[in-house]
Amino acid sequence: MNGAQRRKAANEAVFREVNERIEALHRRFEMTEEPLQIVCECDRIDCTARLDVNVAEYERTRADSACFFVAPGHEDLTVEDVVERGEGYVVVRKHPGEPQQLAAESDPRA
């Protein structure tokens, strides 16, 4: 991966960390029956897309540090594959090698 791709990975890590904080507040206020409204975890620093994801789906996806939630059309097939499509979002999984390694190193749950 080049420097630009590493910066993009850092952007994704920041958005994932924001979503982890949103999810923690969601649990704290016992809102588990309501969908999470999270931010798109794409590599675009100026992205403002919001995604509605149910808590069970969020937790299932978070179990794999190589997976991220992005808005449809925000996937980068040079470093990730679409592994699931939901209503208004897609789940992408980083390619093996450096993309997965960077995702694992930045995983707040690891």
Residues 6 or more apart whose CB falls under 8 angstroms from that of 83 comprise 67, 91, 92, 93
Structure tokens at 34: 């309501």
> Any idea where the domains of the chain sit in the sequence?
3-105
What φ, ψ does residue 104 adopt, rounded to 5°?
-65, -40
User: pLDDT digit string (tens) for 60-99?
Assistant: 999 999 999 999 999 999 999 999 999 999 999 999 999 9
User: pLDDT digit string (tens) for 39-54?
Assistant: 999 999 899 999 999 9
Assess contact for 50 and 40: CB atoms under 8 A.
yes
Q: Is the pLDDT of residue 32 over 80?
A: no
